[in-house]
A and B are shown apart, each in its own frame.
Chain A
Amino acid sequence: MIDQPLLPGLDEESAPFFEYAARGELRVQACADCGVRRMPPRPRCERCGSFEHRWDAMSGLGTVWSFVVPHPPLLPAYSEQAPYNVVLVELEDDPTIRLVGNVVAGADDRLDSIDPHSIAIGMPVEVVFPRPVSDDEGAVVLPRWTPA
């Protein structure tokens, strides 16, 4: 069993999200022709069929749509921080876009740095960008959230 935190495997569609995050930007993929935003990023617009896309900058504000509090048994890197919170954040700029994340006290704080029971659906949150997490394949910045 692996003992480091999990990182996203990056492909052509997903890599830009994390490249922007590494620059401190929260951006969401949108169709370059009809403008519909989509999550997860993917090659083709399901509305107009276009293969062209762009990355729209978001304000980084959102609200908690739902959340869970995982308890062990979990992978070791997560188990030692449990119970922690995982939230689904609905973006203020575009409520059709939701992102999985964690609410933390500060960008680089532990997953259990805030009491998970202080979280509520509808709670306003703001994106933060922690230091990159690295493995053999490189470094990734995973956007997280703080109470707004």
Chain B
Amino acid sequence: MKDQTAVAGIGTTDFAKSLDDSERVLALKALKAALDDAGIRPGEVDGLSCYSMEATEEIDIARNMGFGDLTYFGKVPYGGGAGCGVVGQAAMAVATGQCNVAVAWRSRKRGSRSSRPWAGVSSRVQGDQQRWSRPWGLLRPVDEIAMLTRRHMHRYGTTRDHLANVALAFRRHANNNPAAVMGDREMTRDDYMAARWVSEPLCLFDNCLETDGSCAVVVTSTERARDLRQPPALLHSWAQSLPAQHQTMTNFFCDDPLRGPAWACAEKLWSLSDVGPADVDVAQLYDAFSPLVPLSLEGYGFCERGEGGHFTDDGGIELGGRLPTNTSGGGMSEAYLHGFNLIVEAVRQVRGTSTNQVEGAEFSLCTSGEGVPTGALLFRRDR
């Protein structure tokens, strides 16, 4: 599949704590924007791909958008782990001839408290992911990741200052991005250290934003994309992974809980690629929680195991640093849409249109959630 397909269009709605539009309307607006961006008529769309947790229905989206006869549709599970696989599978469908133009989107309204995942739980916890943890008060995703974070700190000397490096880098990037929910909110290290605890060792600013909004992309063959309005973002390589022994979020029971799904995903991603981590110019690393960034830096091979915290020192993940990361502000300061805004930003970087553009970026990496079955996309600027 190397370089055979490309993202030809991107579209987003506003991002905000609360928007009036429904998830359905937000999805339709983002999809229209993405098709307009590419210069492709909705009637040409014959494939779609979405998250299993997406509440908008494929048939409903297709009818509202005026798509043609769809010959490919698919879904990828595991929430924030899905995004890159959603786009990768759309591209795979194009590359294999199952469809010619595929779209993918994520629409979410999470600003409302009633939509929080733990708000509607029943008193009996079902399923191995949660049955063995929630009754003892490990209730939220942040608690589950905090457990791994504490161990990483103990094992490798990762500190709260390292996590602050992550939060501060992404806030600074958001401060240059007018679309970011936190675009006009500045943060200092003192702000970070003074923030309320959510689940020690993680504080408020280690968490992503609860956001309303939608993003979409259009995928087609590279050949076709070169005739369209925008510079194509070639899909150079992509991968998914659900590693051996893995358990979603509570990966506590396997041999090596700190070796998350990123490791297996990276192995596949680089094996299908002409390049390696040293060639990546800019990265969008899934950041539902700040510690996922050092874990991902390790898993994708940007540093040695245990060095992910240290990699963030001295502006390592800021614009101008070793690996500019989450240049739109990411899930922690732009918007949290299960990582789909990260995919859009990864495309912008190879187009050269980011508000925090990395000069001459050729290879742009995007990852989905670490800690759950995941995926990654490596985009390449067209020559």
Contact = CB atoms under 8 A, between A and B. Distances in A.
A83 B143 CA distance: 12
B196 A102 contact: no
B156 interface: no
Interface in B108-151: 118-128, 131-140, 143, 146-148, 150-151
Interface stretch (B166-174, B197-205, B224-232, B339-347): B197-205
Nearest to A3: B123
Given A68-B146, A88-B147, A40 B136 contact: no
Nearest to B134: A6
A1 interface: yes
A75 interface: yes
Contacts of A2: 121-123
B197 A121 contact: no
**Chain A interface extent, by class:** 35 or more
Interface in B151-209: 151, 154, 196-201
B20 interface: no
A66 interface: yes
B200 A69 contact: yes
**Chain B interface extent, by class:** 35 or more
B125 A9 contact: yes
Contacts of B151: 65-66, 121
Given A5-B135, A86-B147, A98 B253 contact: yes
A42 interface: yes
B255 interface: yes
A90 B124 CA distance: 25
Given A66-B151, A75-B139, A9 B126 contact: yes
Given A71-B198, A137-B124, A100 B252 contact: yes
A100 B71 CA distance: 46
A4 interface: yes
A142 B132 contact: no
B150 A67 contact: yes
Contacts of B253: 39-40, 97-98
A144 B199 CA distance: 20
Interface of B: 118-128, 131-140, 143, 146-148, 150-151, 154, 196-201, 245, 247, 250, 252-253, 255
